[in-house]
Amino acid sequence: MKKIILKINNLTEKLHLIIYQITIAFTLFFYFVLKGATGHKFVITSEEVIYSILILLAFIFSGLYEERGKFGQSFNKVISCLLLIFAILTFVMALYYLYFTFTFDYGFKEELIFFLLPILFTWCNFYLIKKIIKELRK
């Protein structure tokens, strides 16, 4: 059992930021593609604009966080603090979506993917928050 937990930890360490960024990019892309493909009038509410801006900023700061070795020490702290704020916000949004996933009936065939992706995103988001807090305490 310890070997399995250790392997999951190693895999999370290697892939948490990649999964975080890919999930954000696909979420934004497919949300607007599916919203436009419904055949109804394409209307974006102010709540959707705020969520999209938060997710887009989290994506940008996660990219800067990945390349933080190229910047100075003070700029790294600013990037880490900003990404921590946006990671906490996306974590709260992920928990809300996870709650929605468990309460909505997608159908038998689609349920696994709609359960697995939010759980994976929430796990990577939690790991990212934990890692940033550990780095900021140094």
Query: Does the pLDDT at position 113 exceed 70?
Result: no
Total domain count for the chain?
1
Q: Can you spell out the DSSP letters for 28-94?
A: HHHHHHHHHTTSS-----HHHHHHHHHHHHHHHHHHHHHTGGGS-HHHHHHHHHHHHHHHHHHHHHH
Q: How confident is the model at residue 133 (pLDDT cuts 50, 70, 90)?
A: very high
Average pLDDT over residues 51-73: 84
**What is residue 85's predicted lDDT score, i.e. its pLDDT?**
92
Residue 88: exposed, middle, or buried by beta-carbon count in 10 A (0-12, 13-18, 19+)?
Answer: middle
Would you say 47 and 16 are in contact if contact means Cβ atoms under 8 Å apart?
no
Q: How confident is the model at residue 111 (pLDDT cuts 50, 70, 90)?
A: low
Model pTM score? 0.74
Expressed as residue numbers, the domain containing 33 is: 2-137
Phi/psi class of residue 39: alpha, beta or left (left: φ > 0; alpha: ψ in -120 to 50)? left
Query: Does the pLDDT at position 105 exceed 70?
Result: no
